[in-house]
């Protein structure tokens, strides 16, 4: 089974470089760095690096390593939480000698010499803990536990989303027996700056809601500027509409310099097929895409209207 194959492969390499997706979330970083810490603790002689761009709002979790191109030569590459190669942060993964994919998103873009994809897992961090349990003689420590717990918390919305299973809660229960500061972790993930709080106020004042339960929010450059919210920070906004009665699915359009970023969320209707039509993808109930004009954004809205009306039949 792939867990054994993954451990055997890790054992044969001296240098291991771990990647994750661009614009990381706590699960991307938690699985990446949690696995890294575990490998370091289990095989102290190996050189283990985590790479990608740092997101300033998440450096409390982990900071990335800066490494030379030459380090990739003969290295094992492990890519966590990344469904398609286009979203891998740090393209130099191509310079490595072998690739392992570990992910919980639908396996649309199959890549890697070894691939372990489990869409029933709440998070890739949960899979990394499973890897620890099923592999032979691996070492867990406080830092790895902190990272994996943070990843699980992030992807399950603090154990709220339906992806949370008995296994998720069991693993979380085991992880909290390690010594790390949970309050500090929650503050790091959930505290927001005042500009984000005010922008949320704007969203709550201005969201639309149609008869089928679709909500549309357009955040133009002007509005983002008015609230002094940067592109990276907009990820903290999309959940704002999640608790409003009557909203079945919602879409955020975020205007950037070169594109309009589309963030889709749903409480039932499958929306990742719409995302796939517009240069994107993701989970059935949470995905993202890109469009290049407001006319194209209207097409996304029309496609979503169709999905919702079909869902309600
Ligand atoms: Mn994830």
Q: pLDDT tens-digit profile of 125-145?
A: 999 999 999 999 999 999 999
- The three-class DSSP label of residue 66 is coil
Ligand 1 centroid to 3 CA: how many Å? 19
At 84, list the tokens: 């398609």
DSSP strands (E only) in 40-196 = 47-50, 76-80, 98-103, 114-117
Q: Which residue has the tokens 């002094």?
A: 228
The 8-class DSSP code of residue 64 comes to P
Q: Give residue 122 CA to ligand 1 midpoint distance, Å.
A: 7
Ligand 1 mean position, distance from CA 295 (Å): 31
pTM assigned to the model: 0.83
172 Cα: distance to centroid of ligand 1 (angstroms): 15
Residue range 44-96, pLDDT digits in tens: 999 999 999 999 889 999 999 999 999 999 999 999 999 999 999 999 999 99
Distance (angstroms) between ligand 1 centre and the Cα of 144 equals 16
**Quick one: which of 287, 291, 295, 280 has its CA closest to 266?**
287
**Phi, psi for residue 56 in degrees, rounded to 5:** -55, -30
The yes-or-no verdict on residue 35 having pLDDT over 60 is yes
Average pLDDT on 150-166 reads 95
**Pick from 117, 30, 27, 65: nearest CA to 38:** 30
DSSP classification of residue 50: E
The Cα 219–Cα 67 span in angstroms is 36
How high is the mean pLDDT of the chain? 96
């Amino acid at each position: 089974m792939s867990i054994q194959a993954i451990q055997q492969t890790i054992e044969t390499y001296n240098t291991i470089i771990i990647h994750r997706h661009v614009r990381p979330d706590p699960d991307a970083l938690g699985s990446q760095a949690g696995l890294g810490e575990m490998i370091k603790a289990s095989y102290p002689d190996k050189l283990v690096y985590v790479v990608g761009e740092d997101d300033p709002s998440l450096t409390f979790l982990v900071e990335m390593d800066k490494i030379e191109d030459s380090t990739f030569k003969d290295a094992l590459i492990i890519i966590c939480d990344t469904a398609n190669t286009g979203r891998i942060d740090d393209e130099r993964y191509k310079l490595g000698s072998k690739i392992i994919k570990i992910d919980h998103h639908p396996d649309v873009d199959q890549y890697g010499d070894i691939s372990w994809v489990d869409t029933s897992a709440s998070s890739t961090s949960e899979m990394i803990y499973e890897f620890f349990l099923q592999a032979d003689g691996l070492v867990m420590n406080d830092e790895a536990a902190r990272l994996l717990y943070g990843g699980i918390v992030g992807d399950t919305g603090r154990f709220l989303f339906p992806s949370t299973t008995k296994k998720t809660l069991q693993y979380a229960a085991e992880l909290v027996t390690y010594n790390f500061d949970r309050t500090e972790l929650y503050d790091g993930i959930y505290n927001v700056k005042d500009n984000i709080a005010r922008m949320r106020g704007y969203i709550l004042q201005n969201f639309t809601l149609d008869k089928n339960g679709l909500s549309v929010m357009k955040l133009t450059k002007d509005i983002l500027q008015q609230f002094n919210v940067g592109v990276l920070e907009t990820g903290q906004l999309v959940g704002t509409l999640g608790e409003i009665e009557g909203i079945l699915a919602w879409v955020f359009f975020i205007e950037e310099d070169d594109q309009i970023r589309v963030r889709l969320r749903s409480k039932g209707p499958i929306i990742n097929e719409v995302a796939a039509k517009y240069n994107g993808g993701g989970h059935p109930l949470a995905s993202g895409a890109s469009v290049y004009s407001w006319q194209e954004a209207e097409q996304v809205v029309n496609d979503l209207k169709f999905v919702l009306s079909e869902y309600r039949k």
